[in-house]
Chain A
């Protein structure tokens, strides 16, 4: 599950200008990690010099920003899109270690990803506000980012 989210962030950063705009002010080489306590799955992505995300394979590499889920069940709620990222923070399911201003950006990127890849009725449950995004744009971005198979995988079909 975490690996899929990591790959999705990378894919979104390559095809979606909105995501790239969010990444623009972040320093190149900045590593963002998401992890699950006590020693659960995790992924890390690096903001590259080209302004996109790339997966970081080295699990020991220091991250400038880590979002830590307190339990696997909490991570599952978020990444099965039953609970939005902001709501999960508000429900004390996870916490931020590192630069909070970047965490705010990452939350927006995750929201954007959900808006793009999920059917509207699912995304609306997880997001504070469904973005102004035309269905055609959404489908174009989603298929560019994932292809149909990956999309179905994410939707759990």
Chain B
């Protein structure tokens, strides 16, 4: 069998994002902006972040620094559009800003990356930059302050923006979209409700697990992925039991960023193919979709990459369990542990474990979901080939 190959014949790894992580990390904002030669930042965020009182932490971080937020755009919808990006870029220009602070989750971060294209390159036509590697020079300073611990977008070179006229999701890929810095401060994720904490953490967990066990992983991304699995595994249930655990929150945020660096350099696999398809057809949150498919996809892949899955038992369960489990039983033990984790998340945060438990999926939708998953780009990087029948079989297991 040609897969997995024992050696990575060729790979690339890139992560220029400065990570500032810690209990008062936000207070470093003025310094980071100064280092980037900026003094008039625009905040891009959404109404939820403002309503949760998180914006106050940003304002407070600038107190007495001589730098103040020059504009705030807080109208980012959950599914960002070309219009949103254009509006935010207009505000940036009107207020003569010189940097962007993205304060939010995946949609806010994607919007901010796209706004950076317009304000750096000029004009209003974002669509002409869609595709891979069309940007040829560095953009304006962009600092990301995540308010969820899951997407990992603070460490990736991708943004997806919807074209409302055609309904198409336009992907933008460029090394220049990567933020200059990501600031991980537990105050920004502390107020996340349990089910969002659980869903986003399972997204990060899936990034790490797929990055580690799919085709495009490399020694560097593996190091990040493995550490991400450990951070999330050690802290997720602790944080759900004690939501004000700042150290645990910080660990989850770091896990998410570690996983983001990992999958940005290795792509993902079958869990994401099925998850993207389910998310777009049934309008379920991405992290939930990851939680639904993770063990079943691993089960499907196991006969091809069982060794890699087995290696994850160490960061999932710790050295004692790993050492006690014979090598040939480790993949099954790792999958069983993930199932157990999902049971705990169900008990603590009512996170559905099966398609049926979501109450939003009917059995007659499965063929459509399978067909959409077959067209998903992540499938290329899944170590085991999957045709329509295979995908249906996994969906039925997840039913």
Please indicate the chain B residues that have their CB under 8 angstroms from the CB of A91 in the complex. Answer: 8-11, 216
Task: Known contacts A91-B9, A128-B384; decide if A104 and B375 are in contact (CB<8 Å).
Answer: yes
Chain B residues, Cβ within 8 Å of A100: 171, 376-377
Instruction: Please give the residue numbers on chain B whose beta carbons come within 8 Å of chain A beta carbons, in ascending order.
Output: 2-3, 5, 8-12, 131-134, 171, 214-216, 267, 304, 374-377, 379-381, 383-385
- Subset of 19 A-B contacts with CB under 8 Å: A83-B9, A84-B2, A87-B2, A87-B5, A90-B216, A92-B12, A92-B216, A95-B132, A95-B133, A97-B131, A98-B131, A100-B377, A104-B375, A104-B376, A104-B380, A105-B375, A127-B385, A128-B3, A128-B304
B268 to chain A, nearest CB (A): 11
When chains A and B are docked, how far (Å) is the Cα of A125 from the Cα of B384? 14
Pairwise interchain contact A87-B215, C-beta atoms closer than 8 A: yes
Number of CB contacts from chain A to chain B under 8 A: 67
Flag whether A149 is at the interface (Cβ < 8 A).
no
Instruction: Report the Cα distance A105→B379, complex, angstroms.
Output: 11
Whether a CB of chain B sits under 8 angstroms from the CB of A138 is no
**Chain A, 123-155, CB within 8 A of any chain B CB:** 124-129
Q: Report the separation of the CA atoms of residues A93 and B10 in the bound assembly, to the nearest whole angstrom.
A: 8
Considering the complex of A and B, which 4 residue pairs feature the smallest CB-CB distances, nearest first?
A90-B215, A90-B216, A100-B377, A101-B375
Please tell me which one of the listed residues A74, A84, A96, A104 contacts residue B132 in the complex, with CB atoms under 8 A apart: A96
Name B10's closest neighbour in chain A (CB-CB): A91
Set of chain A residues within 8 Å of B214, measured between Cβ atoms: 90
Which residues from 96 to 127 on chain A have a C-beta closer than 8 Å to any C-beta of chain B? 96-98, 100-101, 103-105, 107, 124-127
Neighbour of B2 across the interface among A104, A105, A107, A124, CB < 8 A: A124
Q: What is the size category of the interface that chain A forms with chain B?
A: 20 to 34
CB distance from A147 to the nearest CB of B (A): 29
The answer, yes or no, to whether A5 is at the interface (CB within 8 Å) is no
Given A92-B10, A124-B2, A125-B2, check contact A86 B375 (CB 8 Å).
Answer: no
Q: Does A76 contact B (CB under 8 A)?
A: no
A7 to B73: give the CA distance in the assembly, Å.
52
Q: Tell which of A90, A101, A126 touches B376, judged by Cβ atoms closer than 8 Å.
A: A101
Residues of B within 8 A of A87 (CB): 2-3, 5, 215
Do B384 and A90 touch across chains, with their CB atoms under 8 A apart?
no
The answer for the CA separation of A101 and B5 in the assembled complex, in Å, is: 26
Whole-angstrom distance between the Cβ of B391 and the nearest chain A Cβ: 13
In whole angstroms, what is the CA distance A68 to B210 when docked? 25
Question: Hey, which chain A residues are within 8 Å of B377, CB to CB?
Answer: 96, 100-101, 103-104
Residue of A nearest to B171 (CB): A100
Interface residues of A in 53-109 (CB under 8 A from B): 74, 83-84, 86-87, 89-93, 95-98, 100-101, 103-105, 107
Complex partner residue of B11 from A92, A96, A97, A104, CB under 8 angstroms = A92
Neighbouring A residues of B131 by C-beta, 8 Å: 97-98
